[in-house]
């Protein structure tokens, strides 16, 4: 029979080993994150320092379902349930860079999903307003924001086609689901001088990532960036069930 002291020591050793295992995984993720940023973010031409730093900071593994954690630092989209996906890291970085985000900015995101893109923005700008149409995804994202301490992300459940009028106008707008056209309410809620990044095209086919610039005189300039593949912008809550 082991004496009591031996049992205590064994328990203590077990607890210490748990601590070391978890901090080792965190270190592993940090290393993987640095690799991803070097190879696919900087390596594919992202130059904005704030964007690079943000990609080096936000733990993407927290935003993917447990079973995909080991793939969190591959440069690809991953399923997050309800037929939705967390976007590919390079695309997140590219869209963020295209917005030319500034420290004092107020940004609107349509399609919260996992919350990863919102977190990337929240590291850089003052306030992020994000709208998600699928309630359980919104609830999960909110939990992640709380866990990671982001108190400058404000989330609303609703149809993002209509934006979020209450806090408009926005310095920039990012839409992370593919629309068939640029939603007029979003154009209206964009500040003069502001930018909007949005994939436009036919659902489940290739779309074009567009950069919309609202000039100081109110005129609109649209530039095609690259072909992309996003999940569609849903036009009513029931769509995602079928
Ligand atoms: N930005 C996300 C990627 C989300 S995928 C991330 O970083 O993980 C697109 C998201 O848009 C999905 O969560 C989907 O539910 C949401 N969505 C689709 N149509 C929408 C709409 N009309 N309004 C708001 N969100 C919508």
pTM of the model: 0.90
**Is residue 93 a part of any domain in this protein?**
yes
For residue 54, give the CATH number of its domain: 3.40.50.150
Phi, psi values for residue 109, rounded to 5°: -115, 135
**Is residue 161 a part of any domain in this protein?**
yes
Which residue minimizes the CA distance to atom 11 of ligand 1? 111
Query: In this structure, is the dihedral angle defined by the CA atoms of residues 114, 72, 60 and 65, taken in order, positive or negative?
Result: positive
List the catalytic residues: 87
Q: Which atom of ligand 1 is nearest to the CA of 113?
A: 13
**Is residue 149 a part of any domain in this protein?**
yes
**Is residue 200 a part of any domain in this protein?**
yes
Give the strand pairing for 127-132 and 106-110: parallel
**Is residue 140 a part of any domain in this protein?**
yes
> pLDDT tens digits, the chain, 242 residues: what are they?
567 888 787 777 777 666 665 566 888 999 999 999 999 999 999 999 999 999 999 999 999 999 999 999 999 999 999 999 999 999 999 999 999 999 999 999 999 999 999 999 999 999 999 999 999 999 999 999 999 999 999 999 999 999 999 999 999 999 999 999 999 999 999 999 999 999 999 877 889 999 999 999 999 999 999 999 999 999 875 444 43
State residue 239's pLDDT score: 46
Distance CA 150, CA 194 (A): 24
**Is residue 234 a part of any domain in this protein?**
no
Task: Name residue, tokens 């901090």.
Answer: 23
Q: How far is the CA of 30 from the centre of ligand 1 (A)?
A: 27
**Is residue 164 a part of any domain in this protein?**
yes
Domain count, the chain: 1
Tell me which residue range forms the domain holding 178.
Answer: 38-228
Task: Name residue, tokens 């080993």.
Answer: 17
**Is residue 28 a part of any domain in this protein?**
no
Residue pair 95/117 in contact by the 8 Å Cβ criterion: yes
């Amino acid at each position: 029979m082991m004496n009591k002291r031996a049992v205590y020591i064994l328990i203590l050793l077990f607890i210490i080993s748990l601590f070391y295992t978890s901090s080792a995984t965190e270190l592993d993720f940090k290393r993987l994150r640095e690799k991803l940023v070097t190879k696919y973010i900087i390596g594919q031409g992202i130059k904005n320092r704030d964007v690079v730093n943000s990609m080096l900071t936000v733990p993407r593994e927290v935003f993917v379902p447990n079973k995909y954690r080991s793939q969190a630092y591959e440069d690809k989209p991953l399923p997050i349930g309800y037929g939705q996906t967390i976007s590919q890291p390079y695309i997140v970085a590219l869209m963020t860079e295209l917005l030319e985000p500034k420290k004092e900015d107020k940004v609107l995101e349509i399609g919260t999903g996992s919350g990863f893109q919102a977190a990337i923005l929240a590291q850089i700008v003052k306030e992020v307003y994000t709208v998600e149409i699928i309630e359980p995804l919104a609830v999960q994202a909110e939990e992640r924001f709380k866990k990671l301490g982001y108190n400058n992300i404000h989330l609303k459940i609703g149809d993002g086609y209509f934006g979020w009028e209450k806090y408009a106008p926005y310095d920039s707008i990012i839409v992370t689901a593919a629309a068939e056209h640029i939603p007029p309410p979003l154009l209206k809620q964009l500040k003069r001088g502001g930018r909007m990044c949005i994939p436009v095209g036919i659902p489940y086919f290739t779309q074009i990532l567009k950069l919309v610039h609202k000039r100081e005189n109110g005129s609109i300039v649209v530039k095609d960036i690259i072909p992309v593949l996003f999940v569609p912008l849903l036009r009513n809550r029931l769509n995602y069930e079928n």
